């Protein structure tokens, strides 16, 4: 009884510390944890019901839109979505008695803290990945079967896809797992749900994407100009940082510190492989590991025909998540409560990084808001010219401005700068000062 009470207190402490870290990650980051993708998400939410792009499904922008109804702007609404995504995962894990300990530990890793703090769709995807894994597990252990289970699994895949397109890799993994285990009682539902998911993808493309942007697929799918060796090296670097429980960001300038970062990541992968091999995996654990590996492999292979950012902890998070769950379950079986040292050290490392690289986001946002008010551009559709350099890059300035007015598009046409509603780094930086740091 005392042991269970102590573990409950550890759980509460980790969740509380994680929430505090998410808030600090937002407020002590110079741009509030936004990226060019964040601008697109917030802009899509802002202009809805007008459909301004089909690069991303509507699930995440609409979740932001929902919380703007309570008086928050798109930026703060996105942060509410991230925090509620974390809380939802913990709540579902506790209520379903499904990997609660492991879910708390994984969500406390600094890389996942960074995801929940960012205005990115991965934050919303993670709870749906959790639900998908739970529904699949019920069928594997025989607690759920028949047509109702098929519907549950199909719906979970469709919801995943409506948040992020890489959900198709979960569909592929589910189909392959069902085919490999075709004699098992769950195989028909797995295969049927995966095929239903692919059917939905086809209908979504025909009825939604092609309607609003008939050239999307043709423009999106093209050979990657990066060499195979570059993509392979980026993949391994991405794996190393994704599975480093303490530091998930390498030094862009290179150096010895990166050898340590990558080394810890690869060592962790080796430990996970040994644990998975030496300790027999249950059927559920095999499915989790299989889904994570297939998703990770597909994320790498798709780069050869679809240009994406270099693979990192963010893009791999939905597929590393089930691997982390199994990993920490095995770690706990070996180390017991000492396993909690990993998330504790991860949060401590993250706190050190946040404090060393801190800048005042609220002050930066206030300066951006004053600038837009003075120029009478707070509610105007804006363009931002990215063709010039500055100490604080044009892209970063646009990201900061988007936290006030998300209706921004980038332009590379110099003629656009003649328009009042087209901003440049020079126009902004001559009127406001931005608190920056060297780590972002």
3-class secondary structure per residue, the chain: CHHHHHHHHHHHHHHHHHHHHHHHHHHCCCCCCCCHHHHHHHHHHHHCCCCCCCCCCCHHHHHHHHHHCCCCCHHHHHHHHHHHHHHHHHHHHHHHCCCHHHHHHHHHCHHHHHHHHCCCHHHHHHHHHHHHHHHHHHHHCCCCCHHHHHHHHHHHHHHHHHHCCCHHHHHHHHHHHHHHCCCCCCHHHHHHHHHHHHHHHHHHHHHHHHHHCCCHHHHHECCCCCCHHHHHHHHHHHHHHHCCCCCCCCCCCCCHHHHHHHHHHHHHHHHHHHHHHHCCCCHHHHHHHHHHHHHHHHHHHHHHCECCCCCCHHHHHHHHHHHHHHHHHHHHHHHHHHHHHHHHHHHHHHHHHHHHCCCCHHHHHHHHHHHHHHCCCCCCCEEEECCCCCCCCHHHHHHHHHCCCCCEEEECCHHHHHCCCEECHHHHHCCCCCCCCCCC
- Prediction pTM value: 0.93
Q: Which region, left, alpha or beta, applies to residue 336 given φ > 0 means left and ψ of -120 to 50 means alpha?
A: left
pLDDT score recorded for residue 153: 96
Which parts of the chain have pLDDT scores under 70?
A: 1, 217-226, 252-254, 388-392, 437-440
pLDDT score recorded for residue 407: 94
pLDDT score recorded for residue 215: 72
pLDDT score recorded for residue 83: 98
Order of strands, sheet of 382-385, starting from the edge strand that comes earlier in the sequence: 408-411, 382-385, 422-423
CA distance 59 to 411: 26
Render pLDDT for 147-185 as a digit per residue (tens, 0 to 9): 999 999 999 999 999 999 999 999 999 999 999 999 999
pLDDT score recorded for residue 391: 45
């Amino acid at each position: 009884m005392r042991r269970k009470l102590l573990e409950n207190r550890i759980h509460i402490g980790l969740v509380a510390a994680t929430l505090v870290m998410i808030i600090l990650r937002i407020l002590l980051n110079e741009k509030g944890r936004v990226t060019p993708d964040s601008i697109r998400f917030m802009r899509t939410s802002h202009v809805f019901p007008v459909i301004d792009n089909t690069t991303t499904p509507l699930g995440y922008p609409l979740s932001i839109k929902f919380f703007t109804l309570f008086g928050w702007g798109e930026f703060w609404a996105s942060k509410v979505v991230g925090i509620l995504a974390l809380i939802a995962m913990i709540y579902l894990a506790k209520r379903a008695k499904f990997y609660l300990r492991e879910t708390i530990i994984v969500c406390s890793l600094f890389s996942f803290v960074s995801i929940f703090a960012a205005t990115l769709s991965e934050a919303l995807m993670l709870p749906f990945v959790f639900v998908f894994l739970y529904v699949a597990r019920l069928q594997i252990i025989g607690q759920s079967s028949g047509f109702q289970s098929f519907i549950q699994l199909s719906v979970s895949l469709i919801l995943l896809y409506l948040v992020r397109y890489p959900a198709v890799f979960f569909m592929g993994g589910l189909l392959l797992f069902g085919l490999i285990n075709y004699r098992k009682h769950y195989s028909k539902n797995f295969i049927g749900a995966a095929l239903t998911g692919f059917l939905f993808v086809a209908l979504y493309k025909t009825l939604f994407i092609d309607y609003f942007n008939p050239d999307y697929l043709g423009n999106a799918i093209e050979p990657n100009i990066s060499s195979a060796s570059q993509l392979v090296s980026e993949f391994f670097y991405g794996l190393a940082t994704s599975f480093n429980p303490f530091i998930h960001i390498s030094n862009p300038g290179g150096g010895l510190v990166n050898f340590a970062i990558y080394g810890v990541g690869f060592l962790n992968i080796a430990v996970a492989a040994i644990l998975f091999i030496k300790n027999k995996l249950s059927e559920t654990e095999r499915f989790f590991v299989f889904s994570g590996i297939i998703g990770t492999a597909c994320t790498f292979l798709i780069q050869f025909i679809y240009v994406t950012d270099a693979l990192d902890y963010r893009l791999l998070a939905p597929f590393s998540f089930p691997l982390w769950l199994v990993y920490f379950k095995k770690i706990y079986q070996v180390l017991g409560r000492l396993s909690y040292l990993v998330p504790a050290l991860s949060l401590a490392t993250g706190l050190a990084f946040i404090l060393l690289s801190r800048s005042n986001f609220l002050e930066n946002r206030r300066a951006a808001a004053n600038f837009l008010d003075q120029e009478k551009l707070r509610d105007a559709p804006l363009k931002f010219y990215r063709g010039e350099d500055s100490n604080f890059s044009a892209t970063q300035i646009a990201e900061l401005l988007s936290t006030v007015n998300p209706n921004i598009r980038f332009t590379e046409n110099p003629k656009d700068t003649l328009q009042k509603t087209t901003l440049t780094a020079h126009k902004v930086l001559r009127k406001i000062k931005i608190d920056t740091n060297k780590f972002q």
